[in-house]
Amino acid sequence: MKEKDKIELIIESYDVNGYGVAHVNGLIVFVKGALVGEKVLAIVENVHKKYVFAKAIKISNPSKDRIEPECPFYTRCGGCDNMHMNYECEKKIKENKVKNTLYKFKDYKFNNLISNDVTTSYRNKVLMPYARDKEDNLLYGFYRKGTHNIVPINKCLVSPNIVNDIISFIGKYLSIFHVSIYNEDTNKGIFREVMVRNSSLGEIMVVLIVTKKYDFSNLINYLKDEFPAIKSIYLNINDKNTNVILTDEYELLYGKEYIIEDVLGLKFEVNFRSFLQVNHDMMEILYKKAFELADLKKSDNVIDAYCGIGTITLNLAKRCNKVYGIEIVEQAIENANYNKKLNNIDNVEFILGKCEEEIQKLVNKEKIDVIFFDPPRKGCAKEFLDTVIKMKIPKIIYISCNIATCQRDIEILTNNGYKLEEVTPVDMFARTEHVETICSLSLGTLHK
């Protein structure tokens, strides 16, 4: 079997990412866009020693779970993964993804996936690159998965309408005023991308990403007149031929440095570099569930590792005695301390430094009852986990955006005296393959 071969298959099951799984000539075939029970004609895209990746090009007997994608760009765009299946099917795949990845662990409580009632218009941050086609027409959209080829999109269904309108408006301006567009191949041109952040309170931030300073005063005037919800406009200068999008070279062109977001009744200043979950409503649901699993007491002292701007930390404050937020990014700690003042909270301390070093200092100073982790996709550093184990912190709440690295970390913890108690998947990113997971662990008898 080789690339571009066409093969007929019967789909038997799903893999952890929702690809259909079939077998042929002793090989496992993962088929994008295929559903269980379907007979498909697929084209081979990648061949490995024991498995093959293919893409469905013809469906003979469509599954009852198959639907017509709402988005006309779905089959070409790399943003969403599951628009060809109904949401009930998607939920089951995500639930099984978490359950099957954690198959090694026994005797824990597994809760059903907390689903997303709103599967469109939920993103509060969108990055949109601009380019020119061979005929020099301006286009904008998302990259085709695995490439840097832009699929032109005039409306993204998981982005709010006003964000789509702002992106379109900027595109028209760039085209009418003949602003040069950055070309990755030649490393020439000025305008690269737009980032739009929007809060649940209706405030919007726009970031114009360019290769050098440029006079956008007319565009700014047009934007603020057309979209009064825009409270902040930045220029970010990035002249490097790299995948890194935002740099430290920026200028506030209009309005405030931050927009305001509300999370469970607390106010947070969010700048263009702040980490914030992209689905506001599901973020609040996830936090509530995490706090419930923590079963906090008013006398508890808690650490929030990888605390970012303090959305979890400050919401923990009203539920316990003292909270310590630890973060290695200086700007995030500055932002978190401002948010602490903004909400008049006095039982939180934010600490700049490496989590593994600062945890040790804290535990040696006073009793810590619970620690929250919400690490990046790569999971926790081994040194960090070693410190948590060494410090014998009684309870862990692990919030993960990557169940594979979460499983790896939990295995380290359970091999060193912790027990996995409860797991809850949360669908933060409807119509994509991604799923968040909340895990609670407690220190077993080994370390007591």
**Active-site residues: which are they?**
401
Collect all residues with Cβ–Cβ distance below 8 Å to 57 and sequence separation of at least 6: 6, 40, 41, 42, 43
Burial class (CB in 10 A: 0-12, 13-18, 19+), 256: middle
Closest residue by Cα to residue 157 from 212, 58, 220, 82: 82
Rg (CA), the chain: 24
DSSP 226: H
Cα–Cα separations (whole angstroms), residue 161 to 73, 79, 121, 123, 280 = 16, 17, 7, 11, 16
Neighbouring CB atoms inside 10 A of 282's CB total: 22
Task: Give the residue carrying structure tokens 């709402």.
Answer: 70
Cα dihedral 346/351/357/363 (nearest 10): 0
Q: Which one-letter amino acid corresponds to residue 198?
A: N
In the chain, count H helices and then E strands: 9, 23
DSSP 114: B
Q: CA–CA separation, 3 vs 43, rounded Å?
A: 8
* CA of residue 139 relative to chain centroid, distance: 25
